[in-house]
Amino acid sequence: MAQADLLSVLCQWGIIPFRHYGIDMGDGTVIHLATLANNPEDPQAFSEEAQAAQQPVFGSRMMVQRVSWDTFADGKPVRIEQVSNPLPAAEVLSRAEGALGNTYYHLAFGNCEHFARAWKTGEHQSHQSDRLIRGALRVGLAGLAATANQTIRKAAFSSGMASGATAAVSRAAGVASMVGEVARHSVYAASRHAELEHSQAERNGRRAGLLSAALTGLITRGPVGCASATALYITIEAMSDRVAKSGKPNSND
């Protein structure tokens, strides 16, 4: 562990696992965004204005605070997160200290990972929330494709149209895309467990998802199903990326 490292620990929210992030200050303390249930060792570090501005979130109050290493770890293994373009260590520490007392919090657009990565790289990002949003969009779009094509298939069958077979292939492609999404998530999680950097884990997951979707289409509907599933998977990914980017605020820490 070194000064200005981006740290994370594996936590649990109900049955949902997630990683909690902070910055190693190099003096046995960590700065992170957390509930005030994790009481800071030095409450005088926050101004009266900052304490008065605490925002309730799910019954808790969130604040950027400095805590001891043991408080941050909470008995869990601490992992150093690798990043591609870190800022100089002095700037990372300055940015983290300058945020002390900040009470802004948003689950999707301003969580602990957003803050910590912004201090470390200058980019307001949370790979966890970004993947959750995009994954939900992809599954939803694939489900819509499968449901819509089932409706088309029924209409074609009732009217005696030959396009019923085409609708069946399209529906299979929607199901194949959902299978691909499961594979994508599984490979990404395995890659991150092996401590691969996020971008590499994302590439591994994307390839596995595309391959799984294509293979499922091939098994269920032959070469035509393979081509249809591949095309739909790529289209859904492009659509989800566009929707996710359009909904992301241009906020700074």
Question: Do 104 and 135 share a domain, yes or no?
Answer: no
Residue 251 lies in a domain: no
Domain membership of residue 151 as a residue range: 128-246
Domain annotation covers residue 38? yes
In this structure, the answer to whether residues 21 and 116 fall within a common structural domain is yes
Examine the domain organization and report whether 136 and 242 are in the same domain.
yes
**84 and 101 together in one domain:** yes
Domain boundary (125, 154, 176) is at 125
- The pLDDT tens digits for 61-102 are 789 999 999 999 999 999 999 888 899 999 999 999 999 999
Which residues touch 222 (CB under 8 Å, ≥6 apart)? none
115 and 168 in a single domain? The answer is no
Q: Which of 4-18, 166-180, 209-223 has the lowest mean pLDDT?
A: 166-180
Judge if 202 and 121 occupy the same domain.
Answer: no
Q: In the chain, how many domains are there?
A: 2
**Confidence grade of residue 56 (pLDDT, cut at 50, 70, 90):** very low
Decide which of 87, 103, 125 is a domain's last residue: 125
Q: Residue 106 — pLDDT band, cuts 50, 70, 90?
A: confident
CA 193, CA 195: separation in Å to the nearest integer?
5
Confidence of residue 58 (pLDDT cuts 50, 70, 90): very low
Does one domain contain both 149 and 90?
no
Distance CA 125, CA 1 (A): 22
Mean pLDDT within 186-204: 85
Are 55 and 146 part of one and the same domain?
no
Residue 32 near residue 72 (C-beta atoms within 8 A): yes
Same domain flag for 11 and 92: yes
Domain final position from 66, 101, 125: 125
Residue 252 or 1, more confident: 1
State residue 165's pLDDT score. Answer: 58
| Residue 114 sits in the same domain as residue 134 | no
CATH number at residue 20: 3.90.1720.10
Instruction: Give yes or no: residues 233 and 145 share one domain.
Output: yes
- Give the tens place of pLDDT for each residue, 145-164: 777 655 555 555 555 444 55
Confidence (pLDDT) at 38: 45
Would you state the pLDDT for residue 249? 53
Tens-place pLDDT, residues 115-130? 999 999 999 889 888 8
CB 40 within 8 A of CB 106: no
How many Å apart are CA 46 and CA 66, to the nearest integer?
10
